[in-house]
Amino acid sequence: MTSPMPARIGDPLSRVQTPALIVDLDALDANIGAMAAHVRGTGQVLRPHAKTHKSVEVARRQLAAGAVGLCCQKVSEGEALLPSGVRDLLISNHVVGAGKAQRLCALAREVRTTTLCSDTRHARVLSDAARSAGVQLEILIEIDAGDARMGLPDGDTTGLLQIAQMVQDAPGLRLRGLQVYNGPFQHIRSHEERTSAAVLAANRAKAASQLLQDAGLSCEVISGGGTGSFTADVEAGVLTELQPGSYVFMDADYGRNLDASGAQVSAFRQSLFVQTTVIRTASAGVVYLDAGVKSLNLDSGMPLVKGRPDLGFTKASDEQGRIEASPAGPAPELGEVLMLVPSHCDPTVNQHDWIVAVRNEEVEAVWPVDGRGCLL
């Protein structure tokens, strides 16, 4: 069951029922424009990752700003975002299972559809599904970007060539190139170390691409990169398309990354918040909010309180959060509304049915989180 809308168009921000997911439209639009401008003219293209926002409306804004398509992490996310008008989807994951493969092929009847592979057995499964459905699936071979996750290990030239040759020869498949995404490296705090990680990933991709081309195999696309490394990704000049996602919203964890001067990275503005209300003043300096684990995600730590460095979010149960005030400022009062900066934007969005889009302290729109719960 979808929860009731927490606000109506024209409502002042103060009347939004809490806990609610809030997006500052001015900041959102500025972030979308800034990333588009950074990539424009570089010879690379932008394919933003929609697992961050899961929203048709945000996707429309990204496409209007020049994105060539979208990344989705699950087939169901791609299905949910088709109304955005996207014509080119990358399912940047390994789609395994007969039911998912059938739906992947159904998606390929609607839009250009690319997915990942790093195993010859998997390539056969995808080929059989595509041939049976009468469609073509485009394939990126995923190589390890230095984070030892889903890609082929660095130096496995035999494996890379075997998979690439199989994909190129397989009915229903088309070899398009390489995927090289370094997820954990996006959150390395030091600018120098984060840049080094991006360069490492780029060098691995460059070597793999050259290997494919020397063997007469296709490598027209090298896709990867992210919000933490986008500057280095562009400067390295190896990737043909960039996949940042979190830049549209940002979060407390990305806020801990540092730029070359040692200051907090400031290329993008915080646009995503969880608005919450004080529901109990328990004791001196301690209050409880109506936003807990079911409204937030804590895998990257506790959220911050916007504009109140004197307040610390110290604990969360399912439905409540605990705030402790330092002596530097007064504790919030019963009924007071606070804005939390999520620690991790992607899974926080997935906790909510609605995005309340606000401009100048007034509700301009209420958008459904179209891809919420799209796990398949």
- Do 17 and 36 belong together in one domain? no
The verdict on residue 260 lying in a domain is no
Question: Could you tell me what percent of the chain has a pLDDT over 70?
Answer: 100
186 contacts 255 by C-beta, under 8 angstroms: no
251 contacts 273 by C-beta, under 8 angstroms: no
CATH number at residue 105: 3.20.20.10
pLDDT tens-digit map of 192-250: 999 999 999 999 999 999 999 999 999 999 999 999 999 999 999 999 999 999 999 99
The verdict on residue 192 lying in a domain is yes
pLDDT at residue 327, as a whole number: 83
pLDDT at residue 268, as a whole number: 97
- Do 114 and 196 belong together in one domain? yes
The verdict on residue 152 lying in a domain is yes
What's the mean pLDDT in 103-118? 97
Please say which residue of 188, 219, 251 terminates a domain.
Answer: 251
Reported confidence tier of residue 145, pLDDT bands at 50, 70, 90: confident
Cα gap 39→135, rounded to integer Å = 32
114 contacts 140 by C-beta, under 8 angstroms: yes
- Do 151 and 217 belong together in one domain? yes
- Do 117 and 216 belong together in one domain? yes
- Do 83 and 206 belong together in one domain? yes
- Do 243 and 272 belong together in one domain? no
Reported confidence tier of residue 149, pLDDT bands at 50, 70, 90: confident
The verdict on residue 89 lying in a domain is yes
- Do 271 and 227 belong together in one domain? no
- Closest by CA to 72, choosing from 45, 103, 51, 56, is 51
- Do 17 and 34 belong together in one domain? no
Burial label for 272, CB within 10 Å (0-12, 13-18, 19+), is buried
Question: Could you tell me what percent of the chain has a pLDDT over 90?
Answer: 92
- Do 270 and 234 belong together in one domain? no
pLDDT at residue 59, as a whole number: 98
Please say which residue of 228, 251, 274 terminates a domain.
Answer: 251
The verdict on residue 5 lying in a domain is no
The answer to whether residue 284 scores a pLDDT higher than 90 is: no
Reported confidence tier of residue 190, pLDDT bands at 50, 70, 90: very high
Please say which residue of 251, 276, 293 terminates a domain.
Answer: 251
What's the mean pLDDT in 98-112? 97
pLDDT at residue 316, as a whole number: 96
The verdict on residue 174 lying in a domain is yes
pLDDT at residue 250, as a whole number: 98
Reported confidence tier of residue 291, pLDDT bands at 50, 70, 90: very high
The verdict on residue 2 lying in a domain is no
The answer to whether residue 148 scores a pLDDT higher than 80 is: no
- Closest by CA to 203, choosing from 155, 259, 138, is 155
pLDDT at residue 38, as a whole number: 96
How far is C-alpha 126 from the chain's CA centre? 25
CATH number at residue 272: 2.40.37.20
The strand pairing partners of 137, in sequence order, are: 173
pLDDT tens-digit map of 350-364: 999 999 999 999 999
How far is C-alpha 146 from the chain's CA centre? 19
Cα gap 217→369, rounded to integer Å = 40
What's the mean pLDDT in 24-41? 97
Instruction: Look over the chain and give the mean of its residue pLDDT values, rounded to a whole number.
Output: 95
Its domain, for residue 80, covers 25-251
- Do 275 and 191 belong together in one domain? no
The answer to whether residue 328 scores a pLDDT higher than 80 is: no
pLDDT tens-digit map of 38-69: 999 999 999 999 999 999 999 999 999 999 99
- Do 160 and 29 belong together in one domain? yes
Number of domains in the chain: 2
pLDDT at residue 154, as a whole number: 85
pLDDT at residue 32, as a whole number: 98
The verdict on residue 139 lying in a domain is yes
pLDDT at residue 150, as a whole number: 83
- Do 218 and 275 belong together in one domain? no
- Closest by CA to 183, choosing from 254, 268, 91, is 254
The answer to whether residue 180 scores a pLDDT higher than 80 is: yes
